[in-house]
Structure 1
């Protein structure tokens, strides 16, 4: 037997059949709302002056790229210190990988002793 499943969008304000889903962000949070064409227009009209005066922010992917670029610009001191911490931990029988994040317990023990 065949089944047909349907998804119907419902306007989150009026309960009528929605025409579109709008994504927006405020105070560091992202939101989605399903709206009819009329309610979508009202939302855009209300926000129009604010959008016109605002700056476009970098999206999450750009922020991640920026963070990785900053990490790439860090001096080699960080790498040298991490290598020293790894050697210190191994001498004390702690398991640490050659690369990647050093476990918090290892860092805490290292900083308490040094």
Structure 2
């Protein structure tokens, strides 16, 4: 006795069958959750065109969860506080605008960092 098993993929969005070899498994993450969806070529094109403007301006995150900064290595370096150069600059700018005493270089007082964190 012979048996034939047919595996038919179905488009998760519209429920239509996906022709053999033409399915697109799309994976994405949103708000910390990972998703996977099987789509026909037409729906895969639609999701790609919707995501394209966001992907163009987004920062890519590696599989280890660490962001790949768009700036130079020097700007990505962290200080003894564990904060990046960009974060420290933001803290200094915020502190100056809010009347807190902060030097343009060197260590930032813990009170200033705590106030910045509380405000954000």
Taking structure 1 as the reference length, the TM-score comes to 0.48
Taking structure 2 as the reference length, the TM-score comes to 0.46
* Between structures 1 and 2, the one with greater helix share: 1
State which structure, 1 or 2, has the greater radius of gyration over its C-alpha atoms: 1
